[in-house]
Amino acid sequence: MSLNLFILCTLVSLASATVRLQELYAWNVLDWDYPDQYSRQQAIQSGALIPENALPVGIERWRNKLFVSVPRWKAGIPATLNYISLDAAYEPSPKLTPYPSWAGNELGNCDSGLNTVYRIKADKCDRLWVLDVGTYGYDNVTNVCPYTLNVYDLNTDQRIRKYVFRPEDIVSTTFIANIALDEGPTCEDTFAYFPDELGYGLISYSWKQNKSWRFSHSYFFPDPLVGDFNIAGLNFQWGAEGIFGISASSIGPDGFRTLYFSPLSSHTEFAVSTRILRDESKVSGSYRDFKVVGVRGQDSHTTSKVVDESGVQLFNLIDQNAIGCWNTELPLKPQNVAIADKDDVGLVFPSDVKIDDQRRVWVMSDRMPVFLEAELDYSDINFRIFTAPLDMLLQGTVCQPSPAQKYKSAKVLQSPGLSAYYEPVKNLQPQPVPFMYNAPAPMLSQGNPSFNMQIVPNFVPKVTSYINFPKQPTVQFNTRQPNKWWRKNYDVYENA
């Protein structure tokens, strides 16, 4: 079979397969966008920039900005909070721009700098919520500054709130790498929640009261039986890792959300109403208000989750190089958990998953265990950012929301008190799907070499094991296609 014919057959078979997450950006090594080559060279010489020490961890999309956090685990990280401009000329490996500025990322400046940021969250009031954990280093951690919540106005890029956690919020082992928001009907009525992974606590912060308090519960502890991890061919134990992935549901009939959470070393999902978390007086005497939701299944360690307005939860499955889903209206058990996408190369350690205002899913993968426990190969792609419309990811899975769920979430979004803060209902419609098959036919006959290189490797059917997730026959191929199509469709989608 000639190469062209082979590619044609490949395309035909791909066309009927499910398209899942699309790779938008990929890097062998990160780099920063210095004002000029000279200042970059100076940064390298002074040790301010050591690209090989940078590992991206968190992402968040707000309008034309895609935020990327890079913890200062090693030396040479010029900025911990950064963004990529989505409307700049497309580059497959864009350089990072510090946010809000270079100065606003100064290490050791506890007044106006940021030291280490993990996951970040934008809200409906155009604010970006950023917890600076104040640390420098990984094995040998220095606490440079106290835990400080920073909130930025995304329209002006000004910091509009700085709140230092109370000493009572923190214990000697505290490690907080995540955040969830609980947005009420007004911008004032916003709470943020922070899971203390190694101190086994959950901290509530009220924007209105500018105050925080800390919950303790045995459900924040790890399950000692599942502390063994096998990822990227490495075996290691993260047996002490407690509450980590957290996300608030849409507002329920009683006016409160449900905060879902799971310890990292655990396969169990728990929940608590935000009615409890919002009330400082509930810090004690609320043991029974925390609920066991169910068990996801074997090999379902997770660090990042998000629940969309229709009630579908997405979460990373770090053991399986996959993104999982669960429709929260169904009982949580392995049969009701599906894999929305899986890729044993591209999704090794999916470190963050987000859904933006337009129901588009964003995923970062970063091979974190290799970075921490071994060494990354910088001749290979190590970091990737994927995106896909949520409805497309859920297609054909047990997680698809029912028409009633879609209707209900549309009504929530439409209700008068909320309408100022939520995206209009049109965004609940499935977004135009960016298919690679729009590629003009001449590309084939011209035998464009880059085209061949991109398509053929992706053709390899996925080796998927569904032992733990019996009901998910849908992901057979992963038809990722780096990027050229995406710009066009992104523009169409933005203007829709």
Ligand X SMILES: *[C@@H]1O[C@H](CO)[C@@H](O)[C@H](O)[C@H]1NC(C)=O
Q: Which residues bind ligand X (CB under 6 A)?
A: 140, 142, 163-164, 210
Residue whose CB is less far from ligand X, 148 or 265: 148
Q: Which is nearer to ligand X, 141 or 425 (CB)?
A: 141
Nearer to ligand X, 45 or 140 (CB): 140
Q: Considering the complex, what minimum distance in angstroms separates the CB of residue 204 from ligand X?
A: 15
Q: Considering beta carbons, is residue 163 or 260 the nearer one to ligand X?
A: 163
Minimum CB separation of residue 195 from ligand X in Å reads 20
CA 336 – CA 334 distance, rounded (Å) = 5
Closest CA to 117 of 64, 156, 165, 67: 67
CB of 156 vs ligand X, minimal distance in Å:
16
CB of 137 to ligand X, least distance (A): 6
> How deeply is 189 buried, as exposed, middle or buried, from its count of CB atoms within 10 A (0-12, 13-18, 19+)?
middle
Exposure class string for 224-235: b at 16+ Cβ within 10 A, else e: eebbebebbeee
| Shortest CB 167 distance to ligand X, Å | 12
**CA gap 106, 84 in Å, rounded:** 19
Task: Report in angstroms how near the CB of residue 121 gets to ligand X at its nearest.
Answer: 19
For the beta sheet containing 360-365, the strands, ordered from the edge strand earlier in sequence to the opposite edge, are 22-27, 383-389, 360-365, 350-355
Q: Which is nearer to ligand X, 83 or 152 (CB)?
A: 152
Contact between 201 and 218 under an 8 Å Cβ cutoff? The reply is no
386 touches 321 (CB < 8 A): no
Contacts of residue 379, Cβ cutoff 8 Å, sequence gap at least 6: 28
Nearer to ligand X, 39 or 209 (CB): 209
Task: Give the distance from CA 169 to its chain's centroid.
Answer: 25
Q: How far is the CB of 488 from ligand X (least distance, A)?
A: 44
| CA-to-CA dists, residue 335 to 263, 308, 352, angstroms | 21, 20, 24
User: Which residue, 167 or 449, has its beta carbon nearer to ligand X?
Assistant: 167
Give the residue with the Cβ less far from ligand X, 164 or 412: 164
Secondary structure class of 151 (helix, strand, coil): strand
Pair 198, 135: CB distance under 8 Å: no
User: What H or E segment, with its residue span, contains residue 369?
Assistant: helix 368-373
Pairing of strands 228-231, 234-237: antiparallel
Quote the least distance from Cβ 163 to ligand X, whole Å.
Answer: 4
Cβ nearer to ligand X, comparing 29 with 164: 164
Please answer whether residues 309 and 409 qualify as being in contact, where contact means their C-beta atoms are separated by less than 8 angstroms: yes
Of 176 and 243, nearer to ligand X (C-beta) is 176
Helix axes 3-15, 449-458, angle to 10 degrees: 50
Minimum CB distance to ligand X smaller for 143 or for 395? 143
CA separation (Å) from 10 to 392, 438, 458? 21, 15, 10
Q: Closest distance between ligand X and the C-beta of residue 147, in Å?
A: 10
How near is the Cβ of 113 to ligand X at its closest, in Å? 16
Q: Hey, which residues does 298 pair with through a beta bridge?
A: none
CB of 207 to ligand X, least distance (A): 9
Apex 281 CA angle, 275 and 282, nearest 5: 50
